[in-house]
Structure formats: structure tokens, C-alpha cells
Structure 1
């Protein structure tokens, strides 16, 4: 299990990303429309004034069961360890153990 503080931090980031999504999108649209270098600098300074955690890139996919950030499978929302355990128990429909 991941420390509770890491999970809370990730939830906080999700909340901030959601809050600033429209504002960030509008600023980026203005950035792509600006033609001169000076205009781009002005728009970029507006973008830098937003909180760093408002960027979607800073979010990390985590296992919903353990909170593990590495070895994440998007199809199931689980880490590799939990995927294996739950697959052996037959809790994941459509997942079969490979044999050749």
C-alpha cells in the first residue's frame, strides 16, 4: 500500500486540474493563435501564473486497490501485482492465464 499522503496529494492534483481546465485550455488556444513573438511571450506568462499542479501531465495513474503508481494496466485500473492476484482468483472477467 502507498502512503496515505501520496494518495491525498494525487486527489488534490485531480481537483486542481479539473478547476483550471477551461482556463488553461483558453490560454493555450490564445497561444496557438498568437503570431508574433511578443504576443506569445505575453500569453506564456499568463500560463506560468497558473498553479503547476493544474497541468494534466502531473497526474499519475494509480492502482485503485493499492495506490501503486508503477506497473499500471489501464484496461483494469490495477497494478501488475493486483492484476495477477485477481486474475488467479477469477475476479477479472475475460482474463485468462496464458500457456503455450
Structure 2
């Protein structure tokens, strides 16, 4: 089980990223616009840098929904490898079977 503080921090980052999503996209559009003049791009980049760091979606880390484990995460199932195995053994994941050959 991951530390509760780390899971809560991740939730906070997700909320912050959602809150600043539109503002961040607008500023990035101005910076990438070839028609915008240099001063306008500089001002947009400065405002982008002033936004909270955790409002960037790339700072998010995928975590297991059950245990909060950050590593061994399977995106398709939203679970870490060990919790996915447990769920598969119980038969909770439709279409997933233990391999045997």
C-alpha cells in the first residue's frame, strides 16, 4: 500500500491540472502561433511560467486504484501488476486468463 500522503498529493495534482487546463492551453496556443509577435509570446511564456508547477498534466503519475502503487501499473485495467493478478485469479477481470502452454 502506498503512503496515503502520496496518493492525496496525486489527487491534488489532478484537480489542479483540470482547473488550469483551459488557461494553460490558451497560453500555449499563443506561444505556438507563428502570427503572434515576439513581445506577445514572451508575455504568454512568462504567464505560463507563473502558473503552479503541479497544474501541468505531465507531473501526474499513474497509480493503482486499489493500492496506490505507482510502479507496475497497467493502464488498460487501472491496476498494479500484483492487484491485477489477484483480481484475475478471483475472476473479476472479464476475458483475462492465466497463461498456460
Q: Same fold (TM over 0.5)?
A: yes
For residues 29 and 75 of structure 2, what CA distance do their matches in structure 1 show? 29
Alignment of 1:51 with 2:52, yes or no, is yes
Residues 11-22 of structure 1 aligned to structure 2 (within 5 Å)? 11-22=11-22
Q: Distance in 1 between matches of 2:41 and 2:29?
A: 11
Matched, 1:64 2:54: no
- TM-score for both structures, normalised by structure 2: 0.91
Deviations 1:5-42 (A, max 9, x none): 11110111111001100000000001111555544332
Distance (whole Å) between structure 2 residues aligned to residue 93 and residue 85 of structure 1: 13
User: Distance between the aligned counterparts of 1:21 and 1:42, measured in 2?
Assistant: 18
User: Structure 2: any 5+ residue segments left out of the alignment?
Assistant: none
Q: In the comparison of the two structures, how many residue pairs are matched?
A: 100
Alpha-carbon separation, structure 2, partners of 1:82 and 1:44: 42
SS in 2 for 1:42: helix
Cα distance in structure 1, aligned partners of 2:23 and 2:40: 18
Root-mean-square deviation (Å): 1.3
